[in-house]
Chains A and B, each alone.
Chain A
Amino acid sequence: MSLLELKNVKKTYNMGKEIQVEALKGISFSIEEGSYTSIMGHSGSGKSTLLQIMGCLDRATDGDIIINGTAVKKMNDFQLAHFRNKTIGFVFQSFNLIGNLTALENIELPMIYAGVSRSERRKKAMELLKIVGLEEPEERGHHRPSQLSGGQQQRVAVARALANDPAMILADEPTGNLATNQWRIILDIFRKLNESGKTIVVVTHDPLVGNEASRIITLEDGKMIDDRIISDKAEKIVDEKR
């Protein structure tokens, strides 16, 4: 069964005074449980817009999004908040950690909203810091984001995305602000998570990042122009060279 299904999804931004931007012009595909998908395309092709709609951060102007068999259209904001909390973990290009909270407190945030007890939160957050491989988690866990490197911050952000054990990780240019060795670490984490059964969707314009996935969806000007499944490593490398 597919975890998420898009049916002719459109998104139009009203820029006031009759100026409208059609960011998505009818997108349809479905995401299978346990899959690893990347969404690629040039800047302005609508990748972020699509990801936001998939993650219920925004509503589509038209079309249907069905998650676990439920139409998002029929859900109210309160239900959507719950859904984001339990089912989706977000990773952003600019990390988006909250500056006046420590790394551990940032990771605990989604658990607070889920009503997890204090002691359990702390324990889980520490576990997650170890999973994402933050160096000296006992100490760094109490640091604020500004005291961590970009790569460390992004690992904390990934740990936060995993806090409530969501079914799906949505990442928008997760490596965009990172040095090569750092983004390698993030992609390794994603691969391991996928191997352990998590559904992963990564938005990127970088083929090296996109090729990590087993499926690549390509957008251009708000339309889906390519959707291919890559089954073996050889094909990926060929793709990379092209």
Chain B
Amino acid sequence: MEILMEAFRSLGKNKVRTFLSMLGIVIGVIAVIVAIAIGAGTTANVTARISSLGSNVIIVTPGFSGGFGGRSAAALTSVLQETDVQNIKNMAPDVADVTPVLQKSFTIIYGATNTVANVFGAYPDAFSILALPIQYGRLITQQDEQNYANVAVIGNTLATTLFGNRDPVGQTVIVTTGNVKVSFTIVGELQETGGKLTFDPDNMLMIPYTTASARLIQLNGGVSEILASAKSAETAANAVSEINNILYMRIANSNVYQSQSANQYRVVSQNAILSTVSATTDVLTLLLASVAAISMIVGGIGIMNIMLVSVSERTKEIGIKMAMGATGRRIMMEFLVESMFITIVAGAIGVGFSYLIAFLVTYLASGLGLMVIVTWPSIALSFGVSVIIGIFFGLYPAYMASKKSPVEAVRYE
């Protein structure tokens, strides 16, 4: 108890120095907590985006080069076939809905306005698989699908680009590329989604699959990709392997792709993407945090430096105390408590500032979709580390103090 009072007193005597020595640790603690908070925020953000894909979505893409993005996939198509979709529908018990997707960039013209956007041809099921809610008008129906109807549902952003403030429902747009020219009637407008990781429904024109394959994107029975949904999160993994088997059997039987069948397509569930992404952000967080941790170590060295100065300045005081009967151990404790006191207070200040920074960033940058989440483990970690640093870097100066000989110290002027 006396030791604590003593530490408090001698630190209070040198307020500026004490403050400066704290600064390094304060900054270090802030850096660690904020780094981890940004990591946690990013994970939460990405997770939310992936989850917004729809419940238990499974995406089948041709090859690796196509990635998840459908845009470049057209070039690689023919690997995935309409018949695959039929097979999945009939033979995969854990799959709820499935739809082929034809996707390609077109110029879209309304009156004098034109823009380039993705045309997305799929079964009406796509809206439920991707959880796309309608804002105005209606979705594409089974009937549109059967009738090869020239109707389209327009994304929120695309609607604004083409129609400004006007109601797009009922308007007619022309979709064109080369000498192909097809007109569509807009029957509905989607709610803004803010992007769904690999798709950007806000900037798409969604049309019936039949219309797309007959009039715009002819791939001779090939499809850009296949979207499916599992019956539940628990069965998602089963659904993925069922789809894999179906595709493997078909492609292995058609000798064209026999040799490299395994590399021709890729089946990923939303959960799988989630875990991949969280693994990636974990690595990123770790990297950020370790860079931040280095600043804590630098702060620790600063404390050691200041404690060493303090030990040599107080040589006389140490000598007097020893003459009065203080043991080396006692002197050591006094200095150790001092350096720990510095780091504990610095740690607490750092935690406080981290909360403030997290709050400010979240508040100011909420529009950018940047999230900063301060987590308890990160507080415990950085606080613990700062205490350990206090002990570790305080140990040597304290040891030096305890090893002073009382005469040398008393004689010191």
Contacts and interface: CB of A to CB of B under 8 A. Distances in A.
Q: Do A and B come from one complex?
A: yes
Interface of A: 52, 55, 57-58, 77-78, 81-82, 84-86, 90, 92, 96-101, 109-110, 112-114, 160, 164
Given A98-B320, A100-B13, A78 B405 contact: no
Q: Lowest 7 CB-CB distances: which A-B pairs, in order?
A: A85-B325, A81-B327, A58-B407, A113-B325, A110-B324, A57-B406, A57-B407
A52 B409 CA distance: 12
A156 to B, nearest CB: 13
Interface residues on B, range: 20 to 34
Contacts of A52: 407, 410
B331 to A, nearest CB: 9
Given A52-B407, A84-B322, 11 more contacts: A57-B322, A57-B323, A77-B328, A81-B326, A82-B325, A84-B323, A99-B317, A101-B9, A109-B321, A113-B325, A113-B330
Contact of A78 (B2, B13, B327): B327
B258 interface: no
Interface of B: 2, 9-10, 13, 316-317, 320-330, 405-407, 410
Given A58-B407, A100-B9, A100-B13, A81 B322 contact: yes
Contacts of B13: 100
Contact of A82 (B9, B327, B406, B407): B327
A143 to B, nearest CB: 16
A81 B9 contact: no
A204 B339 CA distance: 41
A159 B410 CA distance: 19
Q: Is the interface of B mostly helix, strand, loop or mixed?
A: helix
Given A58-B405, A112-B2, A96 B410 contact: yes
Contacts, number: 64
A115 to B, nearest CB: 10
A77 B404 CA distance: 11
Nearest to B9: A100
Contact of A81 (B10, B317, B325): B325
A114 B10 CA distance: 22
B325 A164 contact: yes
A96 B328 contact: no
A77 B2 CA distance: 22
B406 A58 contact: yes
Given A96-B316, A98-B317, A100-B10, A113 B407 contact: no
A81 B328 contact: yes
A174 to B, nearest CB: 14
Contact of A84 (B10, B316, B317, B324): B324
Contacts of B320: 96-98
Nearest to A160: B324
Contacts of B323: 55, 57, 84, 90, 96
Given A96-B316, A96-B410, A113 B9 contact: no
B16 to A, nearest CB: 16
A114 B330 CA distance: 12
B369 to A, nearest CB: 54
Contacts of B322: 57, 81, 84
Contacts of A81: 322, 325-328, 330
A164 B324 CA distance: 10
Contacts of B321: 98, 109, 113
Contacts of A164: 325
A92 B320 CA distance: 10
Contacts of B330: 81, 113
Nearest to A52: B407
Nearest to A79: B327
A108 to B, nearest CB: 9
A90 B325 CA distance: 10
A110 B325 contact: yes
Given A98-B320, A100-B9, A100-B13, A113 B326 contact: yes
Nearest to A114: B325
B17 to A, nearest CB: 14
